[in-house]
Structure 1
Amino acid sequence: FILLSLLVLVHELGHFLAAKKFGVKVEEFGIGLPPKAMTIVKKGETEYTLNWLPIGGFVRLFGEDMDPSAWDKLSGKITGRALFSKPGWQRAIIMLAGIGMNVLTGIVLFGIVYSVLGVPNITGEQVVLTEILPGSPAEISGLKEGDVVRRVGEETINDSSQFVEIISGKKGSQVSIYLAELESDGTTSDASRQVMITPRENPPEGEGALGVGIVSYPVIEYEKKPWYTAPFWGVVEGTKEAYGWSRYMVELLMHPAELWKGIGGPIKVVQIGQEQVQAGWLAFLRFGGIISFNLAVFNLLPLPALDGGRLAFLAIEKVVGRKRSAKVERWVHGVGIILLIGLLVVVTVRDIFA
């Protein structure tokens, strides 16, 4: 939860810094969401506040929601500090700065992880159990989701098709399977255990002889780099992973059904975060990088109340050739916020009863 809030706060910091750079008056930088609990300090023209809802933060910019009809009533000096008075490209940068900060944060977090671990190299494949069906030989024998199949008898397992072929030839006969556990960084544990199991000769349709779901994962080995080049290679690998996650998120958005299955609310994020903490600080930092890129891609969507939605209004303004109606934009973004809160509630309820 703290991680998610910090990443949202970093996002807002991007808007804050870009606005300051272009001379836009920042009226308030809030930690958490309103209602306001207290003013921490008022430095210059900006009020730094602490708010009651401990979720991320926000930036309030002068002229952000001001209607064009009110512009003429402002003096020239004050007007020049308003967001609406800035060229379109500057406003676009201010809107994109939060997304940029999330991208940069993700690269830095991934970079730290790979600076310590080394450069990952794929050296082969490993078969991982992804599902254990109730009442199956796999469940009875104590197989678990996440187990990595190292050997069946004396034969080393290199891919899923080989595993299926060997098990199919052992139906009705007891076999020994040697297993390890898949770690959060893609490597397998050194410890292994042996399980005796008898594949079914006539399994229920669609269940298979063992009653397991399997998938092939790459075998990853990390190549340590000298301390003086480790940060460079860390950033290189971090950028690669950042690109991979961004591409994955975009592809996921193209398939709404899969997106709905994979989407999670704060409860799910906290649960996964706790698991990553237990897996170690590197796993937790990598998780932070993933969440940071999720926030970046999500905010880029052209939906009301998101940065992408505000960019869409700016694009329409440029195409039409006249200033937008602040009243209409406020109404659209207000509806967007209500819909996003509704989605958050639905996803949270689903996570609770999942």
Structure 2
Amino acid sequence: MSMLFAIIALGALIFVHEFGHFLFAKLFGVGVEKFSLGFGPKVFGKKVGETEYLLSALPLGGYVKMVGEGEDVELSDEDIKRSFSHKHPLQRMAIVAAGPVFNLLSAWLIFIVIFMMGVPAVTTKVGEVMANKPAAKAGLKTGDLIAAIDGKPVNRWDEFAKIIAEGKIAPLQITVKRGTTPMTFTVTPESSTTKTILGDKVTRPVIGVVAAGDTVIDKFPVSEAFSRGTAQSWTMIKMTVLSMVRLVQRAIPLDTIGGPIMIVKMAGQQAAAGSVNFLAFVALLSVNLGVLNLLPVPILDGGHLVFFGIEVVIGRPVSKKTREIAQQIGLVLLISLMILAFYNDIARMFTGAKL
């Protein structure tokens, strides 16, 4: 079943990506010869109008073949009008950028739907009070339900944690419900230095409590789901970009990179956890696919955007030889990344490391 859910997730994301290229090609009058989900040998194909729609054997990608792609193609006068390579570079940039942008837009829409469906939220019930920490010294106990900080009501753990983390090392009036009895304690946070998931060291106030993990489902109206989905999408984009930077800086280990095997396993795990989890996983994959393809690496969409951008500035295409060399370098980088991802996947299988 994990394989099925992975195929559904990747197939949807590949379709959205290629549909972006396809739609903008049509918008600018570029002929599309093939629209393929997957690479390699054709499994199924049907021609509608000028376009052959294909399902190919290797599901790790797809492509849109447009009229006039490649400089060695012989074109008739009629085809020149519909040729990708004969369009203005700004139009070509729009066609190329549409794929990854559609992935980012689809992630945004998925996050909005998720907030409308309902997301699990952790309550403010305390699961553990750490010994000799500010909360324990003040008198908080396991099972307390935090109700307010300095008179401001709180009912979700992330809201409570944010107030503490963004506050100062100054006394706080924390009101809790112990059973049915409200009680107020004066708690002075202490500084703690930890590492984030991106490898950055951060120093922030803590009081020494851990959530019990009790959850409720929060559903939001369309207007609030829109704003929350937008914020979540932007957060995921920033996190993805920063993660890639940290990988290059080696602040995040290279063995955290995953490939198809990891995606298959995670797809099954998230699907088993429920539709919201699976949709969130698909949205995260979509963000990663969009951001990765916008990187200025030759052979990726971002690399093509760089070449077309240079063409706009200098008024002529980058030389064929320069592009070929750059694309060879880009291909080596991409293959190296794929090999590393497969190696990490296989290593996890043998070592039993958790994903």
For 1:299 and 1:254, locate their aligned partners in 2 and report how far apart those are by CA, in whole Å.
Answer: 15
SS at match of 1:255: helix
CA distance, structure 1, for counterparts of residue 93 and residue 225 of structure 2: 31
The list of structure 1 runs, each at least 4 consecutive aligned residues, that deviate by more than 6 angstroms after superposition, is 120-123, 166-169, 214-221
Aligned ranges 1:10-29 → 2 under 5 Å:
10-29=16-35
**Equivalence for 1:275:** 269
Q: Deviations over 1:134-184 (max 9, x none)?
A: xxxxxxxxxxxxxxx703xxxxx3xxxx55638999xxxxxx988xxxxxx
Taking the aligned partners of 2:117 and 2:282, their CA distance within structure 1 comes to 16
Residues in 1 aligned to 2:209 and 2:234: alpha-carbon distance in whole angstroms? 24
1:80-116 per-position Cα deviation (integer Å, ceiling 9, x unaligned)? 1111111122111101101111011101211111001
CA spacing shift, 1:281–1:224, aligned 2, 3 Å: closer
Question: Which residue does 2:285 correspond to in 1?
Answer: 291
User: Equivalent residues in 2 for 1:142-161 (5 A)?
Assistant: 150-151=127-128, 157=129
Question: Tell me, what secondary structure is at the counterpart of 2:258?
Answer: coil
Paired letter, 2:61 = G
**Which one of the candidate residues 243, 248, 259 is aligned to 1:252?**
243
Deviations 1:24-50 (A, max 9, x none): 111110121123334x21111111122
Measured after TM superposition, the shift of residue 19 of structure 1 is 0.4
Indicate conservation of the 8 Å contact 1:9/1:56, yes or no: no
Partner residue, 1:208 = none
Q: Which moved more, 1:325-334 or 1:285-294?
A: 325-334
- How many equivalent pairs are there? 274
**Structure 1: how far apart are the matches of 2:212 and 2:101?**
31
Q: Report the equivalent of 2:96.
A: 95
SS of structure 1 residue aligned to 2:23: helix
Q: Secondary structure at the match of 1:103?
A: helix
Q: Identify if the C-alpha distance between structure 1 residues 223 and 31 changes in structure 2 by more than 3 Å, giving closer, same or farther.
A: closer
- Give me the whole-angstrom Cα distance separating, in 2, the residues matched to 1:167 and 1:235: 37
In the alignment, the residues of structure 2 paired with residue 352 and residue 114 of structure 1 have an alpha-carbon distance, to the nearest angstrom, of: 35
In structure 2, relative to structure 1, the CA distance for the partners of 1:231 and 1:48 (3 Å cut) is same
Amino acid at match of 1:298: L
Q: CA deviation at 1:260?
A: 2.6
Q: RMSD of the TM alignment (CA)? A: 3.3
Q: How far apart are residue 215 of structure 1 and its match?
A: 10
Partner of 1:231: 222
Corresponding residue for residue 64 of structure 1: 69
Measure, in 1, the Cα distance between the counterparts of 2:321 and 2:51: 25
How far did residue 4 of structure 1 move? 2.0
Residue 265 of structure 1: which of 236, 259, 262 is its match?
A: 259
- What is the alpha-carbon distance in structure 1 between the residues aligned to residue 237 and residue 285 of structure 2? 11
Q: Say if 2:6 is the partner of 1:5.
A: no
Q: Which amino acid aligns with 2:133?
A: E
Partner secondary structure for residue 70 of structure 2? coil
With over 3 angstroms needed to count, the CA separation of the structure-2 counterparts of 1:223 and 1:19, relative to structure 1, is same
Q: Does structure 2 retain, via aligned residues, the 8 Å contact 1:10–1:102?
A: yes
Q: 1:344 aligns with which of 327, 338, 341?
A: 338
User: Which letter maps to 1:16?
Assistant: F
Q: Do the aligned partners of residues 255 and 221 (structure 1) sit closer, same or farther apart at CA in structure 2, a change above 3 Å counting? A: same
Q: Distance in 1 between matches of 2:209 and 2:260?
A: 28
Alignment of 1:177-326 (within 5 A): 223-225=218-220, 230-256=221-247, 257=250, 258=252, 260-326=254-320
Verify the 8 A CA contact 2:121 2:216 in the aligned structure 1. Answer: yes
User: What is the CA–CA distance in structure 2 between the aligned matches of 1:33 and 1:313, rounded to whole Å?
Assistant: 25
Q: What residue in structure 2 maps to residue 199 of structure 1?
A: none
SS state of the match for residue 133, structure 2?
Answer: helix
Give the superposition deviation at 1:328: 4.5
Amino-acid identity (%): 35
Distance 2:122 2:299 in 1: 41
**Alpha-carbon distance in structure 1 between the residues aligned to 2:131 and 2:236:** 30
- With normalisation by structure 2, the TM-score equals 0.68
Which of 124, 133, 151 is residue 165 of structure 1 equivalent to?
A: 133
